[in-house]
Structure 1
Amino acid sequence: MSLPKYQQVAATMRKRIKEHAYAPKSLLPDQNTLAKEFGVSRLTIKKALDGLAQEGLIYKQSGVGTVVLGIALENGEDSPAERFDGLTKLVGSAHVRSKILKFDITFPSPKVQKQLVIGPDDPVYDIRRLRLIDGEPWIIEHTYFRVKMVPNLTHKILEHSIYAYINNDLHLKFGGAYRRIGATLTTQEDIDNLGGKEGEPVLQVEQVVWLTTGQNIEYSISRNLARNRSYTVLDINQN
């Protein structure tokens, strides 16, 4: 299956930026020019540029245009702290595999009720997955979804991308996410599944994702060895 047009455009532009075909601190061509070059709509160009901006490769400066930063960190395993669209989309489906450690339906604990804004009798999926990149264990994800909002989940879906199922099959659109990133030490589960050592630093990400309707759809906790993956923040002064 070929990538969506905007991802194809973004991939070409990303390559140009990294090879300095678009030089750092230079202005990109305007959206009309890019749309004509790639043979796509301005909306497609906008979506491609929005993705590159999230990666810290470009930024839009009011009254000037879109400026090439060319300063993004080169570690492909880093994740922008504001990005919430999933590991598969970040590194590519060909590189990601999921091992299901737990897949149950249960009633939510008080904490899950609070994070998803639901009652005690609203069933949730309780999912724990080990995410592997190119066969290497990378992240343990512990995720809760409302059964009513994400019906008919299967092992096959969990082995690939849940987000792709939510977007493409259920036609639900993510509105945003809140993430809290902290540091801790390995648990026995981290040692067993991630290959960590006792007392090794671990990064833990607690996340709530909501839809464009404003409804919370996911509460999750992800853990990875600090030596394997870090999180980046791009802070731009638009004044």
Structure 2
Amino acid sequence: MANRKSKIEKTSLDHISSVPFFIQIAETMKRRILSGQYDPGKQLFTGEELEKEFQTSNITIRKALDKLKNDGFVERRRGLGTTVSRIEETPLTFELGRSFKKLKESIQKLNTQVKVLEITTTRSSEYVQNFLSMDSEQDIWRMKRLRIFNGLPVSFNTYYTDPTSCNKISKADAEKDDILHTIEQAKKIRFHKVNQTLRSVAADLDISSALEIPYGAPVFFNETTYHPASGKALLLSQNYFRGDMFIFRTSSLL
């Protein structure tokens, strides 16, 4: 596969976006590397060529290349220029199907760690109140967690429920993989049904900060309500997954 163009084509930067130019360039180069436009071990364009393509300064290009190097996408050696690293993609795969148990088991098989960011009781928004059929004056129990893979935050999860009994859940309990079982034990109930939605959204400042991704980067957003046999939703989870780290896979009979 050819690694260089015979003619430098200009690529316009987004001057309206709040994302710095060097990050826009670095993310563009990452996509090119992952899509196979640049061969591993081959020399990348020179700084001068990249300046011409992106119509920006040498300082901006150097910052973009530094980010690519720090993220493991390129190697920079004196006298040899910048070469493309061999990237071994390890996407995290979730199995989606009619059984929530299958999805739950696929998550638990991942070699990830959980970090609790917050456990608190606070005023709930109208949005959450509607999901959980709560009174407007009623407080809500909220927990925020990160799931970490190879030292990298890959999902950001927020759970909401009635504070009854959940105030007994400690940080150590909340860092267990099977948080649903922990909540079931605290509430002395058993969830029988889940309702889920999955869509793609752009990371806002909170999500980009938590997942260490650029503002506006695409993420998978999963919203789930958990229901006991009585039918009323007692738990709401909002989960953001890095778009560059996850594959959601399903199969069904025709």
Instruction: Please list every run of 5 or more consecutive structure 2 residues that lacks an aligned counterpart in the other structure.
Output: 1-89
* TM-score w.r.t. length of structure 1: 0.58
What residue in structure 2 maps to residue 174 of structure 1? 191
Alignment of 1:28-43 (within 5 A): none
Shift of 1:79: 3.7
SS at match of 1:77: strand
What residue in structure 2 maps to residue 80 of structure 1? 96
Distance in 1 of aligned mates of 2:191 and 2:214: 36
Shift of 1:131: 1.3
Aligned residues: 164
CA contact (8 A) 1:124 1:147 kept: yes
One-letter amino acid matched to 2:223 = E
**Structure 1 210/153 Cα, relative in aligned 2: closer, same or farther at 3 Å?**
same
* TM-score w.r.t. length of structure 2: 0.55
What residue in structure 1 maps to residue 224 of structure 2? 207
One-letter amino acid matched to 1:141 = N
Alignment of 1:38-187 (within 5 A): 77-80=93-96, 82=98, 84=100, 89-92=105-108, 95-148=111-164, 150-160=166-176, 161-167=178-184, 170-187=187-204
Name which of 217, 233, 236 aligns with 2:234: 217
Tell me the C-alpha RMSD between the 2 structures. Answer: 2.9
Distance in 2 of aligned mates of 1:236 and 1:90: 20
Distance in 1 of aligned mates of 2:204 and 2:129: 25
State which structure, 1 or 2, has the greater radius of gyration over its C-alpha atoms.
Answer: 2
Shift of 1:223: 0.6
**Structure 1 190/77 Cα, relative in aligned 2: closer, same or farther at 3 Å?**
same
Shift of 1:203: 0.9
**Structure 1 91/220 Cα, relative in aligned 2: closer, same or farther at 3 Å?**
closer
Q: Deviations over 1:113-160 (max 9, x none)?
A: 110012123332111111123543111011101112645111111111
**Structure 1 134/171 Cα, relative in aligned 2: closer, same or farther at 3 Å?**
farther
Q: Deviations over 1:157-213 (max 9, x none)?
A: 111132121345655221111111111112223332323233321111122111122
Q: Deviations over 1:23-81 (max 9, x none)?
A: xxxxxxxxxxxxxxxxxxxxxxxxxxxxxxxxxxxxxxxxxxxxxxxxxxx96522416
What residue in structure 2 maps to residue 58 of structure 1? none
One-letter amino acid matched to 1:190 = I
Instruction: Please list every run of 5 or more consecutive structure 1 residues that lacks an aligned counterpart in the other structure.
Output: 1-73
What residue in structure 1 maps to residue 27 of structure 2? none
One-letter amino acid matched to 1:111 = Y
One-letter amino acid matched to 2:141 = Y
Q: Deviations over 1:6-39 (max 9, x none)?
A: xxxxxxxxxxxxxxxxxxxxxxxxxxxxxxxxxx
What residue in structure 1 maps to residue 205 of structure 2? 188
CA contact (8 A) 1:86 1:163 kept: no
Report the identity percentage: 16
What residue in structure 1 maps to residue 243 of structure 2? 226
One-letter amino acid matched to 1:185 = A
One-letter amino acid matched to 1:116 = L
Distance in 1 of aligned mates of 2:165 and 2:229: 13
